[in-house]
């Protein structure tokens, strides 16, 4: 009989933990969608300021907002986990379900452990978004916006400058994501004087990395005199690989983690490599931030005084989420100013939040 009772209690405990996990997952998903929708609406209002320039219309602005929505979802997920946990446990508390679970012998630690399963699922989803969804969506959004704006003479924002040795490359913008348009290639002598200038309307990037320049013109400087010719089509051995173009036209926070890691390994250590390394550590710290926000919710749920309303818990949770986000940004900036390792600025906020949550939860658990 005792064995049957133990199995029945274990099955009931498992059912309750699944119930908690589903409740938390549902609340976190709703909060994440609400916050993403709110910030997307603000971005849409900002994009309306550019409507009317070139061929950029309301439909293009809406497309830009939709394509950049996954990046906003990534940013709001940690805070969404905190608020979602507070919503879910607040609802369970109002219906006395938490008290019933505790009376059945399900400890506070097991209840909070159940809330970690949705966090793990969210982490997997975020990693997939960072690697496969956000980079191409951001690239397509910026390219479509730049193409629409530049058609009216407003210029695009997908161009870049690159340099190797005494050779400089400037691309004004890209069409269809990988077609350079408006190309200028400057070559200088050892004394800093201009050696040659190549201008091309566009280029086709071959698989071997060679750029086939179209409508090209070339100017050379010899003994203080200029000479020019128009070869029309010209092959140029680019020092920028197709993979590096992705890093030059996209913000570093929208580059896939694996590609970012491989790119850092091929760079010489300088400020640019340090910026990329900081972004890589920030992406690596995202899973820890999600887990930290779930753990931070525990003292609010089980800590005294339990007579506080869900609204009070939610208000405090919002304050903690804002403070955490600001603290994370401040530590990252301080790390750059003080020359600290990028790992310190990225990992310190979630680790400190976990430690504080553990201490507060332990006190609440003893109480």
**Residue 283 near residue 345 (C-beta atoms within 8 A):** no
CA terminus-to-terminus distance, the chain: 35
The per-residue pLDDT of the chain, averaged, comes to: 84
The span from the CA of 304 to the CA of 312, in Å, is 13
34: pLDDT confidence band, cut at 50, 70 and 90? very high
145: pLDDT confidence band, cut at 50, 70 and 90? confident
- For residue 23, pLDDT over 70 is answered with yes
When pLDDT is averaged across residues 348-358 and rounded to a whole number, the result is: 92
Prior bond to 305 cis, omega within 30? yes
- Helices 108-128/58-94 angle, 10° precision: 170
Strongest mean pLDDT among 141-145, 164-168, 251-255: 164-168
The span from the CA of 124 to the CA of 347, in Å, is 19
- For residue 266, pLDDT over 70 is answered with no
Q: For residue 29, what pLDDT is reported?
A: 97
367: pLDDT confidence band, cut at 50, 70 and 90? low
When pLDDT is averaged across residues 11-17 and rounded to a whole number, the result is: 73
Q: For residue 268, what pLDDT is reported?
A: 54
201: pLDDT confidence band, cut at 50, 70 and 90? very high
307: pLDDT confidence band, cut at 50, 70 and 90? very low
When pLDDT is averaged across residues 255-266 and rounded to a whole number, the result is: 78
Global pTM exceeds 0.85: no
265: pLDDT confidence band, cut at 50, 70 and 90? confident
Out of 23-37, 87-101, 113-127, 263-277, pick the least confident. 263-277
Strand order in the sheet with 160-164: 160-164, 167-175, 179-188, 194-205, 210-222, 225-237
Residues 97-129 have pLDDT tens digits of: 888 888 888 888 889 999 999 999 999 999 999
Handedness of CA 186, 276, 262, 207 (dihedral sign): negative
Out of 22-26, 178-182, 313-317, pick the least confident. 313-317
| Residue among 357, 286, 282, 349 nearest 317 (CA) | 357
The span from the CA of 364 to the CA of 315, in Å, is 19
When pLDDT is averaged across residues 16-27 and rounded to a whole number, the result is: 93
Cα 321 off chain centre by? 17
310: pLDDT confidence band, cut at 50, 70 and 90? low
The span from the CA of 248 to the CA of 273, in Å, is 13
Q: For residue 152, what pLDDT is reported?
A: 47
Q: For residue 14, what pLDDT is reported?
A: 75
| Residue among 27, 159, 156, 17 nearest 86 (CA) | 27
**Residue 230 near residue 216 (C-beta atoms within 8 A):** yes
Cα–Cα distances in angstroms (integers) from residue 211 to residues 185, 200, 203, in the given order: 12, 11, 6
């Amino acid at each position: 009989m005792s064995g049957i009772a133990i199995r029945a209690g274990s099955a009931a405990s498992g059912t309750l933990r699944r119930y908690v996990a589903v409740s938390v997952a549902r609340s976190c998903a709703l909060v994440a969608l609400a916050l993403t929708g709110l910030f997307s609406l603000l971005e849409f209002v900002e994009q309306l300021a550019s409507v009317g320039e070139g061929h950029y219309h309301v439909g293009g602005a809406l497309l830009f907002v939709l394509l950049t929505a996954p990046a906003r979802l990534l940013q709001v997920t940690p805070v969404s986990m905190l608020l979602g946990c507070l919503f879910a446990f607040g609802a369970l508390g109002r219906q006395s379900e938490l008290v019933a679970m505790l009376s059945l012998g399900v400890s506070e630690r097991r209840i909070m452990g159940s809330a970690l399963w949705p966090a793990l699922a969210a982490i997997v989803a975020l990693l997939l978004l960072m690697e496969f969804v956000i980079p191409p969506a951001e690239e397509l959004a910026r390219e479509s916006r730049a193409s629409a704006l530049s058609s009216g003479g407003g210029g695009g924002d997908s161009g870049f400058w690159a340099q190797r040795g005494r050779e400089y490359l400037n691309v004004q913008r890209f069409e269809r994501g990988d077609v350079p348009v408006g190309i200028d290639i400057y070559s200088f002598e050892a004394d800093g004087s201009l050696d040659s200038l190549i201008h091309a309307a566009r280029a086709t990037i071959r698989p071997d990395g060679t750029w086939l320049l179209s409508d090209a013109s070339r100017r050379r400087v010899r003994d203080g005199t200029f000479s020019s010719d128009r070869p029309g089509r010209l092959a140029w051995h680019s020092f920028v690989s197709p993979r590096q173009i992705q890093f030059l036209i996209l913000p570093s926070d929208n580059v896939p983690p694996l590609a970012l890691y491989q790119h850092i390994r091929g760079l010489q250590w300088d400020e640019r490599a340090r910026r990329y390394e900081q972004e890589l550590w920030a992406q690596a710290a995202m899973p820890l931030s999600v887990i930290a926000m779930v753990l931070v919710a525990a003292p609010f749920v089980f800590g005294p005084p339990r007579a506080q309303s869900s609204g009070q818990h939610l208000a405090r949770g919002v304050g903690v989420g804002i403070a955490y986000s600001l603290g994370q940004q401040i530590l990252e900036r301080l790390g750059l100013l003080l020359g600290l390792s990028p790992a310190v600025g990225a990992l310190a906020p979630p680790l400190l939040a976990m430690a504080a949550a553990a201490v507060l939860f332990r006190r609440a658990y003893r109480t």
